[in-house]
Amino acid sequence: MTSSIKKIQRKSRYRTVGLMPGTLNIDKSALTPKMEVFSYNKDGLTTTDAKDIDVVLQQVKKQRSLTHWIQISGIGDAKLLETLGASLDINPLVLEDIVNTHQRPKFDEYDDYVFMVSRVIYFNDEGELANEQFSALIKGNILITFQETYVECFPAVKTRLSAGKGLIRTAGPAYMAYALTDTILDLYFVVLAQIGESLDELEDKLYDSPDKSVMYNAQQLKRSLINVRRAVWPERDKINDILRTDNRLISKDVKMYLRDAYDHCVQIMDLIENDKEITSSIIDLYLSMVSNRMNEIMKVLTIISAIFIPLTFIAGIYGMNFAKIDPVTNKVMPDNMPELYSEHGYYYAVAAMLFIAVIQIIIFWRKGWFSKL
Amino acid sequence: MTSSIKKIQRKSRYRTVGLMPGTLNIDKSALTPKMEVFSYNKDGLTTTDAKDIDVVLQQVKKQRSLTHWIQISGIGDAKLLETLGASLDINPLVLEDIVNTHQRPKFDEYDDYVFMVSRVIYFNDEGELANEQFSALIKGNILITFQETYVECFPAVKTRLSAGKGLIRTAGPAYMAYALTDTILDLYFVVLAQIGESLDELEDKLYDSPDKSVMYNAQQLKRSLINVRRAVWPERDKINDILRTDNRLISKDVKMYLRDAYDHCVQIMDLIENDKEITSSIIDLYLSMVSNRMNEIMKVLTIISAIFIPLTFIAGIYGMNFAKIDPVTNKVMPDNMPELYSEHGYYYAVAAMLFIAVIQIIIFWRKGWFSKL
Amino acid sequence: MTSSIKKIQRKSRYRTVGLMPGTLNIDKSALTPKMEVFSYNKDGLTTTDAKDIDVVLQQVKKQRSLTHWIQISGIGDAKLLETLGASLDINPLVLEDIVNTHQRPKFDEYDDYVFMVSRVIYFNDEGELANEQFSALIKGNILITFQETYVECFPAVKTRLSAGKGLIRTAGPAYMAYALTDTILDLYFVVLAQIGESLDELEDKLYDSPDKSVMYNAQQLKRSLINVRRAVWPERDKINDILRTDNRLISKDVKMYLRDAYDHCVQIMDLIENDKEITSSIIDLYLSMVSNRMNEIMKVLTIISAIFIPLTFIAGIYGMNFAKIDPVTNKVMPDNMPELYSEHGYYYAVAAMLFIAVIQIIIFWRKGWFSKL
Amino acid sequence: MTSSIKKIQRKSRYRTVGLMPGTLNIDKSALTPKMEVFSYNKDGLTTTDAKDIDVVLQQVKKQRSLTHWIQISGIGDAKLLETLGASLDINPLVLEDIVNTHQRPKFDEYDDYVFMVSRVIYFNDEGELANEQFSALIKGNILITFQETYVECFPAVKTRLSAGKGLIRTAGPAYMAYALTDTILDLYFVVLAQIGESLDELEDKLYDSPDKSVMYNAQQLKRSLINVRRAVWPERDKINDILRTDNRLISKDVKMYLRDAYDHCVQIMDLIENDKEITSSIIDLYLSMVSNRMNEIMKVLTIISAIFIPLTFIAGIYGMNFAKIDPVTNKVMPDNMPELYSEHGYYYAVAAMLFIAVIQIIIFWRKGWFSKL
Amino acid sequence: MTSSIKKIQRKSRYRTVGLMPGTLNIDKSALTPKMEVFSYNKDGLTTTDAKDIDVVLQQVKKQRSLTHWIQISGIGDAKLLETLGASLDINPLVLEDIVNTHQRPKFDEYDDYVFMVSRVIYFNDEGELANEQFSALIKGNILITFQETYVECFPAVKTRLSAGKGLIRTAGPAYMAYALTDTILDLYFVVLAQIGESLDELEDKLYDSPDKSVMYNAQQLKRSLINVRRAVWPERDKINDILRTDNRLISKDVKMYLRDAYDHCVQIMDLIENDKEITSSIIDLYLSMVSNRMNEIMKVLTIISAIFIPLTFIAGIYGMNFAKIDPVTNKVMPDNMPELYSEHGYYYAVAAMLFIAVIQIIIFWRKGWFSKL
């Protein structure tokens, strides 16, 4: 499910041994950036599809009364980032963190800007758990966000922005960053809802028609949960760091909303722990069912074997050819298997067999082998 | 047992991706609110069934010398909450928390009011573990509580209130909030008593007539315990937060009683850990019994097989038809199975069989297969 | 072992939903109090069996130069406690904690008195682990202790008191409280010594003649250990709380001795962890033995079956009745089982069987089935 | 894989019981030191292969305007270290730590120098996980590094140094120490990439053709992961210690880069936890497969046995030789096995067998033995 | 291995319920003390075997310019301790801790002396893990050490002392205490080296010829490791306590060396965790091998049974005696087993058997039963 992601992660790290920190070592498979600029205040909103970051930044710097959100999707252009870094005076380490898309969620403060990373997690069209990096940079009245792919995660935020309702138009770039982060957390709830449904299906399957796939699927879900947890734990720490900062870029109002986002993180972690417990419980039940199945199989084998093997032995006894009379010498040997020549020998033998079988069935019934465990 | 609750939880979260914080996104299945108003001081108590929150609040604001407890059951009316929010100047995030009924227990302080959430847990009539949200808002001399359903959890508190005994009439809304919280904790003890009884039954069953259901039931009880624990851990933190606040709405007297409630939380957590250990112990014993049962089955099979298979082989030997005399040519072949034509061959064969059987029984008895493990 | 205690605990909680805090809801089975009063200073000791708490307290209040230890055994008298509470001005929550005998060890400070709870743990005459509450109240020069039953736990302390040796006569009620607490900790060592002996026996049994009871007993011991641990962990916290208080009722000298008691707590916890590891090790070894036993059983079955089943098949072949000559038509069919009519057919068949058996024995011997694992 | 390393570790410790601290107890197998000196500032770089530490240090002390990195590979010369210690006035404990190559990563501050230890981890040519000690000493403008072997770990750093790009020429010895440490961390990523590939292969094997080696290899990988974790945990603490020091040898700029290295540590720990989870999951799946395989085997055995054993018994019955007529007396016994002399007895017997077989197959099919679990 | 130690521990505790703190309750089996006195300064060393503690202390008090180390081996003399306590004014609780040899490592500070406890751990001549108490008392220029047995642990320290090299002669009693503690830690490394060798042997055995003893030995080693860990954890805390004290008896120089000892503690804990992981890994592999062995056994049984049981059934069929002609009435019944009278019936039957066997072998081969898992 997530192995392809994992491999990319390792390979891209493999090539950077001993490189200079701050080097923009962009992955070959990274997408060409697309840019969309949202400039707004409480009176209006302008949306622009931009090509040249330089032009955008110059324009943006002029409009000091507006808040600007520059949404960059795709990070496959070192030039763009270098231009941006030079124009806004951003530390190369930050730029490196933007292109090296394996950062854990974090919040870094610099002299006059802040930088934050989140993980965007969703099931993609192939049913794999995608784990993208989303980074945001706040400087003055500008918010620049970077996303690995073109997947649109924020339609609802954009709708709110164009509707002009609420604080979104008036509360500045930090509130916008909060709105995006909270939307990303909402996506976590969606992923957990999907995992929850899979767990429900798995549980139904466990009770209805358990087979090997239960174990595989439970392990897969467990790994997905662990992946989500690995993203959400540092996310919570990140939000906590923002809550405790006294950076003037993060206003008290935004912090009040972030406390809400913090609660959501804790709820997500709670749901993950719950789902992990359910997964463990499914695995335990499955393993117990395998044991019980084995028990049942062995009981059937043992009951049938135990009953028939002695009977077959008796039949074998009376199938022996010890001769009463020697065919060559005609010597009579009355001691050899006299039962065979007794008038009701056959009936006695069958009666003995029935008796043994009944005794055994009673013993097994008493042991409870016909009903329980 | 709890899967229906779980699903609702996930689905209701699923629809809110990117919504504006503070949006009152009320679940379709939420119940129409019922309101009951208790106005009291040490001299008297008035109880009113109210319809219109606006009327209630205006009346309540006038009677400054009384403490008012407005109990709202059912949260399916956005209008009511908006009116209340506007009239008392409550933050929309608080209102959202009231209707979004998946909050963990918490205590939030605002300028001139405090807000707290608890989880009400009980086994409902279908034997499922219900997990409702109970929220309380204290502003001035008013306490407003919100509950998801109409289930009456506080008859004893109301009795104490009408009896006029103790601090309940004189110690203000925070004491009432404490009394309700402590009653909710008492319900946890009831749930744990019920789980404890189920554990006792399960343990009896384990010793008397263990079957597959032991494993299922133990897992179910484990999950119930985890659910209670998930409610009580943050409850303890919440009470701790209240104990450490210096908010003037929470008097020193109330805190003394809350320390008692805190002790109850710790006791509940203690009982849960104990019951979890018992559950684990039951599961371990059950799995060990399954193993032992398998051992016993295999021993029966092995003893019977090991004894009779060689005997049957001997019988098979003497059931072979190697001919002493050729029926066509009448050629005599004295080397073919001379035992069959020996005078006491049969007796010797039976004696050999008995000997082998006795030897094997002695070996198995020495190995202790007839008695132990 | 401890299930009866557990049930009582749950039931008694069950009845108190929503009761007023501080209500003295005494369990029906609680014993009638017995009172013994020890009044002493360095010069002498008076011991009195008292009936009326009121009389006792009045007398005691007069003798300011003496230290008084009022030992109350049995808590089944609400009146006594109310009198005591009124006379010494004790908070009703403290009185409730005394009769509600499921408190965890704790240390509570009030204006001019302190209250502490310990758990007394011992194996009673039925071999069950009794878990009683012991509470102590220090006010001025008076120490009042409450115990659930009449079991005498402190003969050695009383001997020291009457001997008049050491600090016990001179160091006031807090030192006496320390002496009693340390004695209770000594009882924990006794319980652990008994559990340790049971573990040794269990280990001997495991090596000598393991059977199902090993698993049951190991689980029982594990639960006993968990019960002791649940008592000793908060006991340590309690002592730590006392060590850190600056309450003038707890002198610096007493604290020095309490540090010793603290070390004992840590030693007890250490022993418990050790014993838990031993228990786990016993359980693991037992389960591994069950597996090995199964392996051994299966090997016996497989060796015997694998050797004899093919041989029996060969015997079966030559037990077939394909006719060389048709009894009705006398038609000769020389192709039907010519081996039966070969002069040494029998010997060849037996030789073939022996060969197969030897080959198989060699294979199994090479696989190491006759010796290891 | 790592056992040889482990043994060396233990043996070298074994000989030092009670030795004076600071004794240079060099392992016999330690390599003769090679020295390379890099003297540089922003204008130029001189690289020298040196033999005599004394000469090097005297020369180095003269060139105060340059930064000097003395790279010493191989630590098998006590004299060299003593000279160095005397010349630079280094505490003997530091020298002991350099030669006793089992130090955990740490950062020690002394009056005018600092000392730090890292672990260099890589898979060597034999595929074993090598775990070397790398120590660095910063005093004034001099950085001295010690490595156990001649393995070249820093080609990229030396390239950057000779290229003269970036801070490496200008930021002094602490920045160089940071650059080396970060390169060592990059090697951890390489090791994790290799372990990750092995895990992928193992997982493929698990699904394609699982055999015993899965368990062995999973355990080996788990141990490798634990070894890496044991190195990286204290490494993180070390970096944290450096970040919190106010030693003037560590400038604020270097700390900014170290924060980046700290993030790398956390990422490595994250990858390790992830890989450990994957390893556990592989082991669990493998064990579950073994159980399922057993189940499948037992089902085959049971189905075949259960079907054929009763049939064989019936065949055995009619293979008995109860005589209808006594060959000696010619007495007729019509009760003995009349079925054998019934005209269609054979057909009836075969029909009965077929019936029993079909019934059993239906029963097993209904139990789902032909398809699931 | 360690059970005898455990029992002594419990029994000796058992007798002290309620005893006065500070009572010297010496174990019957305690050895008679031997005393050796080392008086030294940088100029010289006098070693004396002493009998009377009183004489020793008087002499020692006179020689203020010398450092005195009084090594007492064996603690079975209450009188000696009481004399010592009286002469040096030592708290009875300290004396009790010296004779009650179950103390955890700790560091206690008193007015003008300090007291510390360590555990000496080594494998004794019987191969059992001995766990002795070593306590040290520093007052002024005197160090008194107490050891349970006469086992000489400090020959290297005494050699250094008589050699007069290093700080040992000049740095006072605290440095000597450090030197002894560090030597004790070196003994831990020796124990871990021995455990490590046992683990290596166990691992070799696991791969070469696994049997039941693997499980027993792994459990034994695990317990030994836990015992060492139980000693070293509080040892680390103790050293940490000494490092943080500002007691003038512990000089800054000694603390620098203690930091080294602290590092050793952490290294020991690291080795223990590593060895515990290896032990767990051995146990897991062993259990997996037992499972695989079972699988292999069952496969052999199933293949042989599955192949031969149907064949034996066919042979059984044709061993039936359904008669073609009634021996009494001579009635011909051509429908009874006509195959027996077919000219090539025997060949057809054998061919059918071969066909069934080959089909089954192909099926099992396809299932991979002949090679993997």
pLDDT digits (tens, 9 = 90+) for B303-313: 999 999 999 99
Contacts of C259 in chain E (CB under 8 A): 108
Q: Higher model confidence: residue A177 or residue B370?
A: A177
Q: Which two tokens stand for residue B289?
A: 């019994």
The whole-angstrom separation of Cα B104 and Cα B97 is 10
Q: What is the mean pLDDT of residues B141-156?
A: 93
Do E309 and C309 lie within an 8 Å CB cutoff?
yes
Q: Are E234 and E105 in contact, with CB atoms under 8 Å apart?
A: yes
Cα–chain center distance at C74: 25
For chain E, the average pLDDT equals 88
Largest CA distance in chain D: 130
- Does the pLDDT at position B138 exceed 50? yes
Residue recorded with tokens 């009779």 = B308
Pick from C288, C292, C296, C370 the residue to mutate for testing the E interface (most E CBs within 10 Å). C288
The alpha carbon of residue E56 is apart from the nearest alpha carbon of chain D, in Å, by: 27
Q: Which two tokens stand for residue B302?
A: 């092995």
- Does the pLDDT at position E96 exceed 70? yes
Name the pairing type of β-strands D142-147 and D129-139: antiparallel
Instruction: Give A286: exposed, middle or buried? Use CB within 10 Å, 0-12, 13-18, 19+.
Output: buried
Contacts of A323 in chain B (CB under 8 A): 340-341
Q: What is the ipTM of this complex?
A: 0.81
DSSP string, D262-329: HHHHHHHHHHHHHHHHHHHHHHHHHHHHHHHHHHHHHHHHHHHHHHHHHHHHHHHHTT----SB-TTT
E102: left (phi over 0), alpha (psi -120 to 50) or beta: alpha
Burial D123-142 (b: 16+ CB within 10 A, else e): beeeeebbbbbbbbbbbbbb
Contacts of E332 in chain C (CB under 8 A): 328
Q: What is the mean pLDDT of residues C122-137?
A: 91
Q: What is the mean pLDDT of residues B95-118?
A: 92
Contacts of E294 in chain D (CB under 8 A): 294
Contact partners for chain D, using 3 or more CB pairs closer than 8 A, are A, E
Do A322 and B14 lie within an 8 Å CB cutoff?
no
Q: What is the mean pLDDT of residues D19-45?
A: 87
With a pLDDT cut of 70, the percent of chain D lying above it is 95
Q: What is the mean pLDDT of residues A244-269?
A: 92
Burial C42-73 (b: 16+ CB within 10 A, else e): eeebeeeebeebeebbeebeeeeebbbbbbbb
Which one of A186, A288, A372 has the shortest CB-CB distance to B287?
Answer: A288
Q: What is the mean pLDDT of residues A6-28?
A: 61
Could you report the per-residue pLDDT of E33-76, keeping only the tens digit for each?
999 999 999 888 999 998 888 889 988 888 889 999 999 999 98
Q: Higher model confidence: residue A285 or residue E14?
A: A285
Q: What is the pLDDT of residue E16?
A: 65
Q: If DSSP states are collapsed to H, E and C, what string results for chain E?
A: CCHHHHHHHHHHHHCCCCCCCCCCCCCCCCCCCEEEEEEEECCEEEEEEECCHHHHHHHHHHCCCCEEEEEEECCCCHHHHHHHHHHHCCCHHHHHHHHCCCCCCEEEECCCEEEEEEEEEEECCCCCEEEEEEEEEEECCEEEEEECCCCCCCHHHHHHHHHCCHHHHCCHHHHHHHHHHHHHHHHHHHHHHHHHHHHHHHHHHHHHCCCCHHHHHHHHHHHHHHHHHHHHHHHHHHHHHHHHCCCCCCCHHHHHHHHHHHHHHHHHHHHHHHHHHHHHHHHHHHHHHHHHHHHHHHHHHHHHHHHHHHHHHHHHHCCCCCCCECCCCCCECCCCCHHHHCCCHHHHHHHHHHHHHHHHHHHHHHCCCCCCC
Do D18 and E321 lie within an 8 Å CB cutoff?
no
Decide: helix, strand or coil at residue C70: strand
Name the pairing type of β-strands A106-109 and A129-139: unpaired
Say whether residue E309 is in contact with chain C using an 8 A CB cutoff. Answer: yes
Could you report the per-residue pLDDT of B263-299, keeping only the tens digit for each?
999 999 999 999 999 999 999 999 998 888 888 888 8
Say whether residue D110 is in contact with chain E using an 8 A CB cutoff. Answer: no
Q: What is the pLDDT of residue B372?
A: 53
Do D372 and A210 lie within an 8 Å CB cutoff?
yes
Closest by CA position to E233, among listed E257, E268, E258: E268
Q: Higher model confidence: residue B351 or residue C51?
A: B351
Q: Which two tokens stand for residue C54?
A: 């009121």
Say whether residue C15 is in contact with chain B using an 8 A CB cutoff. Answer: no
Which one of E18, E91, E294 has the shortest CB-CB distance to C294?
Answer: E294
pLDDT-derived band at B165, boundaries 50, 70, 90: confident
Q: What is the mean pLDDT of residues E220-244?
A: 93
Q: What is the pLDDT of residue D16?
A: 65
Could you report the per-residue pLDDT of C180-222, keeping only the tens digit for each?
999 999 999 999 999 999 999 999 998 888 888 899 999 999 9
Say whether residue E120 is in contact with chain D using an 8 A CB cutoff. Answer: no
The domain segmentation of chain B, as residue ranges, is 34-289, 294-366
The alpha carbon of residue B29 is apart from the nearest alpha carbon of chain C, in Å, by: 29
- Does the pLDDT at position E4 exceed 70? no
The whole-angstrom separation of Cα B5 and Cα B349 is 72
Q: What is the mean pLDDT of residues B245-265?
A: 91
Give B148's DSSP letter: S
Do E321 and D319 lie within an 8 Å CB cutoff?
yes
Q: What is the pLDDT of residue C67?
A: 94
CA of C337: which chain E residue's CA is closest? E346
Pick from E3, E12, E19, E20 the residue to mutate for testing the C interface (most C CBs within 10 Å). E20
Q: What is the mean pLDDT of residues E86-105?
A: 91
- Does the pLDDT at position A15 exceed 50? no
pLDDT-derived band at E102, boundaries 50, 70, 90: confident
Q: What is the mean pLDDT of residues C365-372?
A: 78
The whole-angstrom separation of Cα A84 and Cα A79 is 8
Q: What is the CA radius of gyration of chain B?
A: 37
Q: What is the pLDDT of residue D368?
A: 81
- Does the pLDDT at position D28 exceed 90? no
Q: Which two tokens stand for residue B101?
A: 């009924």
The alpha carbon of residue B328 is apart from the nearest alpha carbon of chain A, in Å, by: 14
CA-based torsion, A199, A201, A202, A204: positive or negative? positive
Cα–chain center distance at A331: 85
The whole-angstrom separation of Cα D358 and Cα E114 is 87
The whole-angstrom separation of Cα D206 and Cα A51 is 49
Q: CB contacts < 8 Å between A and D, how many?
A: 193
Q: What is the pLDDT of residue E372?
A: 53
Asked which of B66-70, B324-328, C139-143 is least confident by mean pLDDT, the reply is B324-328
Closest by CA position to C131, among listed C2, C221, C222, C24: C2
CA-based torsion, E170, E173, E175, E179: positive or negative? positive
User: Please, which residues 33-72 of chain D have a Cβ atom closer than 8 Å to chain E?
Assistant: none
Q: Higher model confidence: residue A84 or residue B18?
A: A84
- Does the pLDDT at position E7 exceed 50? no
Could you report the per-residue pLDDT of C283-334, keeping only the tens digit for each?
999 999 888 888 888 889 999 999 999 999 999 999 998 888 888 888 888 8
- pTM for this prediction: 0.85
User: Which CATH entry fits the domain spanning E34-289: 1.10.357.10, 3.40.50.300, 1.10.620.20, 3.30.460.20?
Assistant: 3.30.460.20
Contacts of B293 in chain A (CB under 8 A): 295, 373
Could you report the per-residue pLDDT of E263-273, keeping only the tens digit for each?
999 999 999 99
Q: How far is CA E322 from CA D353, E312, E319, in A?
A: 15, 18, 9
Closest by CA position to C33, among listed C87, C71, C98, C77: C77
The whole-angstrom separation of Cα E94 and Cα E80 is 14
Residue recorded with tokens 């955990």 = D104
Contacts of C304 in chain E (CB under 8 A): none
Decide: helix, strand or coil at residue C39: strand
User: Please, which residues 162-221 of chain E have a Cβ atom closer than 8 Å to chain D?
Assistant: 165-166, 168, 179, 182-183, 186-187, 189-190, 192-193, 196-197, 200, 203
- Does the pLDDT at position E5 exceed 70? no
- Does the pLDDT at position C177 exceed 80? yes
Could you report the per-residue pLDDT of A273-332, keeping only the tens digit for each?
999 999 999 999 999 988 888 888 888 999 999 999 999 999 999 999 888 888 888 888
The whole-angstrom separation of Cα B158 and Cα B149 is 18
Q: Which two tokens stand for residue D127?
A: 């595929």
- Does the pLDDT at position D257 exceed 60? yes
Contacts of A309 in chain B (CB under 8 A): 304-305, 308-309, 312
Give A104's DSSP letter: P
pLDDT-derived band at D11, boundaries 50, 70, 90: very low
CA of D316: which chain E residue's CA is closest? E316
**Strand order, beta sheet including E113-123:** E44-50, E34-41, E67-73, E142-147, E129-139, E113-123, E106-109
Could you report the per-residue pLDDT of A51-78, keeping only the tens digit for each?
888 889 988 888 888 999 999 999 988 8
Q: What is the pLDDT of residue A16?
A: 65
Q: Are E225 and E272 in contact, with CB atoms under 8 Å apart?
A: yes
Note the residue count of chain D: 373
Do B349 and A322 lie within an 8 Å CB cutoff?
yes
The CATH class of D294-366 is mainly alpha
Return all residues near B22 (Cβ < 8 A) that are at least 6 apart. A166, B91, B92, B93, B95, B96
For chain D, the average pLDDT equals 88
CA-based torsion, A63, A65, A71, A77: positive or negative? positive
